Structure 1
Amino acid sequence: MYRFLLSRRWLITLLIALLLVPTTIKLGIWQYHRHEARVARNELIATSLTASPVPYDTLSATPGFAVPKSLTWRSVTATGEYDPAQEFVVRKRTGSGGDKIGYFVITPLRLSDGRGTVLVNRGWVASGDSAAAYPSVPAAPAGEVTLTGRMRADETAAGSGIRDRAGLPDRQFNLISTEQQTQETGATLLGGYLELTATAPAPADQPELLPEPNHSDIGPHMAYAIQWWLFTALIPVGVWVMARREAKDRGKEAAEAEAEPEAVPA
């Protein structure tokens, strides 16, 4: 009854099914690994944000220090004086609402202990009337201040997907990069930068502070993994149902052919 499975059409069907099974299993595993990575990232961010702040220069003590993933979002403090003469803005960044394009305001902070200078992302400001003009930015507080913020790694074109092109207006850049700013200013900048969350004493006016990263959303990857594995299970079931249906149809056709009366000769 199932001899038709050796036909060309069915051999191709079976071959496709055999190829689909390991493929869909691997796709499910890939989505599961993405789920695990998202969960691990969320746990890291939550731990970093709730940890007691430590001085920035105890984590990044040298120029060119590459902030590892384990220290990204770590709560840090820094005490010193802003250097508004070396302030710059980073183009095409969104505010807390995510629907408006503007600038991040980056102002170097000279540490009071003399160990170097830290780039501080003071927050977001809206774009002005002209992209070529420097935007209106609240002045950095004068005198000694103590900052609290989140430690971030230098941005790179490869890591951020942002194209770093030359020829931008004065004091405007595409990336927050201590290496780039060292080349521009010659200052001794500690690796990474601080994303501001609080200032003491508090200024009367400041850019819009950036919100905490979302560390509660685990994404759809686990659901996708389950869907791929369910599809894997349905492949052999689907082949079996198709084969049963064709066998039933062939059996019915054979029975009908046998039941037809033979023509009586005149």
Structure 2
Amino acid sequence: MYRFLLTPRWIALHVVVLLVIPAFVLLGRWQFGRFEERSANSDRVTANLAAPPVPVESLAGPVAEEDDRYRAVTASGSYDAAQGLLVRRRPQEGRPGFYVLTPLVMADGRAVLVNRGWVKAGATADTPPEVPPPPTGQVNVTGRLRLSESEESSGIRDRQGLPAGQVLLINLDTIGKRLPYELLGGYVDLTGQQPDTDPAPEPVPAPDVGAGGGLNLAYGVQWWLFIGVAIGGWILLIRREAADQRAEGAQAGADEETAAPAG
């Protein structure tokens, strides 16, 4: 009855099913891994945003650690407006614009790069944006610690030939080579400062923590459900073929009895 399972057509179907099942297992495990990774990242960022601020130099020495991303930090010093930079291609709320970077020189002679916020682009690509100046004298800032950017981490391709005072990446190693003092290994997205200024660049929004990988969990479950669908469909096709074989056999037997001469 089941000899049809050894025909070339069915052997090909068996091979496809046996290849599909482990592929779906691996895809499901990959999605579950992404769920765990993103959930851990979401929990870490949420905790860092809620943590009380600490001095930036306690976290960002020569480098800043991945686990300290978005940690609330404080710093005191004076802005070096002459060394300020604009970061191109930084849209905010769907509007093209720039981030405003200004070094804050601290009492020990080192500096931390502060992203003072966002300004809209000029009327044309060649028109410089209007940038409010930073406050003068001693300044106390609070903000979120950020890591140095690279092409890989940001997805932004760096290039040469930009207008003076503009960059595409907040790469602290590259920027630090232009400055007459040492930069800390992380920069700060400004959330508050004393004294404040008006006008001032628009604040950079807090990161969207998101669903913590919830979609990855759903996709992982979906891939593993596909395993059941593949096995169930395979069994259903075998049973249907066997039923057809039995029906054909019964019909052939009935035809033979009908055709047999009367004894």
> Counterpart of 1:79 in 2: which secondary structure?
strand
Q: Which residue of 2 aligns with 1:29?
A: 29
Q: Which residue of 2 aligns with 1:230?
A: 225
Q: Which residue of 1 aligns with 2:134?
A: 140
Q: Which residue of 2 aligns with 1:101?
A: 96
Q: Residues 146-185 of structure 1 correspond to what in structure 2 (within 5 A)?
A: 146-185=140-179
Q: 1:89 aligns with which of 73, 86, 91?
A: 86
The CA deviation at 1:263 is 8.1
The CA deviation at 1:211 is 1.3
Q: Distance in 2 between matches of 1:32 and 1:18?
A: 22
Residue 130, structure 1, aligned to residue 124, structure 2: yes
Q: Which residue of 2 aligns with 1:254?
A: 249
| Root mean square deviation of aligned Cα | 1.4
Does structure 2 retain, via aligned residues, the 8 Å contact 1:133–1:169?
A: no
Does structure 1 retain, via aligned residues, the 8 Å contact 2:87–2:167?
A: yes
> What amino acid maps onto 2:183 in structure 1?
L
Residue 67, structure 1, aligned to residue 61, structure 2: no
Does structure 2 retain, via aligned residues, the 8 Å contact 1:124–1:207?
A: yes
Runs ≥4 residues deviating over 3 A: none
Q: Distance in 2 between matches of 1:67 and 1:190?
A: 8
> What amino acid maps onto 1:109 in structure 2?
L
The CA deviation at 1:170 is 1.0
Does structure 2 retain, via aligned residues, the 8 Å contact 1:134–1:171?
A: no
> Counterpart of 2:192 in 1: which secondary structure?
strand
Q: Distance in 2 between matches of 1:190 and 1:136?
A: 27
Does structure 1 retain, via aligned residues, the 8 Å contact 2:77–2:140?
A: yes
The CA deviation at 1:159 is 1.6
Q: Distance in 1 between matches of 2:8 and 2:25?
A: 27
> Counterpart of 2:63 in 1: which secondary structure?
coil
TM-score (norm: length of structure 2): 0.94
Q: Distance in 1 between matches of 2:186 and 2:167?
A: 16
Does structure 1 retain, via aligned residues, the 8 Å contact 2:40–2:212?
A: no
The CA deviation at 1:197 is 0.6
> What amino acid maps onto 1:124 in structure 2?
W
Q: Which residue of 1 aligns with 2:16?
A: 16
> What amino acid maps onto 2:229 in structure 1?
L
> What amino acid maps onto 2:232 in structure 1?
V
Q: Distance in 2 between matches of 1:12 and 1:73?
A: 54
What fraction of aligned residue pairs are identical, expressed as a percent? 41
Does structure 2 retain, via aligned residues, the 8 Å contact 1:177–1:192?
A: no
Q: Which residue of 1 aligns with 2:76?
A: 79
Structure 1 unaligned blocks of 5 or more: none
Q: Distance in 2 between matches of 1:156 and 1:185?
A: 19
TM-score (norm: length of structure 1): 0.93
> Counterpart of 2:175 in 1: which secondary structure?
helix
Does structure 2 retain, via aligned residues, the 8 Å contact 1:88–1:171?
A: yes
Q: Distance in 1 between matches of 2:148 and 2:36?
A: 25
> Counterpart of 1:176 in 2: which secondary structure?
coil
Q: 1:240 aligns with which of 221, 225, 235?
A: 235
The CA deviation at 1:27 is 0.4
Q: Which residue of 1 aligns with 2:39?
A: 39
The CA deviation at 1:59 is 1.6
